[in-house]
Structures are given as C-alpha cells and as structure tokens.
Amino acid sequence: MLTSQLADVLTRIGITEEQLKGTDLLLLPENIDAGTSELQDTEESIWLGKYLKEKNVAVKTGFDLGLKPAVVERRGIDIWLGVAWVTNAIAAPVIANLIASYLLEQRQRSQDDRVHIDLRLQDGKKTSQIKYSGSLSDFERLMEGFTHSKDKKLP
C-alpha cells in the first residue's frame, strides 16, 4: 500500500496502485495538484509521451489510466511538459536522457527556449520534486546532473 504524495494524488484522481504496475514514468496533467474539476494535459506532454513509448520506456499518461483531461495548447515558444513523475528511481537516468534528447532532437528547439516541467522522483515513500521553469540549456545541465547522480535522486 502506497502512503505517499503519489498515493494521495492517485487516490484523488481515482487511479489505483494496481494500475501502476510495471510503470517507470507517469506523465500527468499539469494541474494535477490544483484540485480543479478540469484536468489539463499540455500538448507537448502528449508528444513527449509518444516519443518515450517509441523508445520503449514504460510510461503511462493520465489518458492511459482512464482519465480524460482537456488539452491545452499554448502558442508561445515555451515548452510546457506538465508533471513527469518517475515512479521507478532506477529508470531515472535513462528517462532524464530521453527527455533531454526529445527536446533537442525531436523538437529542434533553440537553447534559449524556456522549459516548464514539474519533475518528481518517487523513491519508496519519499518524493523529490523540482518545479523547473528556465532555459533549455540549463534544463540540459539539470538532466545531466540527474543522470550522473549516484543515488539517482533529485538535487
């Protein structure tokens, strides 16, 4: 039985622990904590999810888990990735690498573009969290640190 921030969130949106079996990463609506009646996936998080599935990452989105979030599309150049919740700490370095690759290779972004992501790492009952809003180049460095950290935890 999960007793953690993750469990609280899952309970609130009606997802069971059973549904997460075998999942390394959850991509959830960006307003998952807000308690609003209308959850929202960001457009970019949908494409990220598809990219990671093609790379054989065990990723599930809110939609995969039975939610029907609305989809928000923003026409600014910023990249809105919503909530990325790593549920298997061992997979964190690979996932961090792939997210960085996705942004640089797939979306052909400039280093100055701004990234917005709520990155969470679940390690047992403990949740580490970074709410990042900054340049793509700094995000790359953050992901490098994430990849190379010995204990696979967020700084």
DSSP state letters, 32-48: TTTT-SS-EEEHHHHHH
Residue 62 phi, psi (nearest 5): -55, -40
Is residue 27 within 8 A of residue 61, CB to CB? The reply is yes
CB nearer to another protein: pick between 36 and 129: 36
- Calculate the alpha carbon distances from 138 to 107, 131, 135 in Å: 17, 13, 5
Choice from 70, 129, 138, 141 touching another protein (CB under 8 A): 70
Choice from 56, 73, 124, 150 touching another protein (CB under 8 A): 73
Least Cβ distance, residue 27 to another protein (angstroms):
10
- Kindly indicate which of the ranges 76-84, 92-100, 131-139, 141-149 contains the residues binding another protein, using the contact rule CB under 8 A: 76-84
Least Cβ distance, residue 62 to another protein (angstroms):
9
CA 93/CA 63 separation, integer angstroms? 25
Residues 10-69 that bind another protein (CB under 8 A): 38, 40-41, 43, 46-47, 49-50, 54, 61, 63-64, 68
CA 119/CA 46 separation, integer angstroms? 16
Site residues for another protein per CB under 8 A: 38, 40-41, 43, 46-47, 49-50, 54, 61, 63-64, 68, 70-78, 113
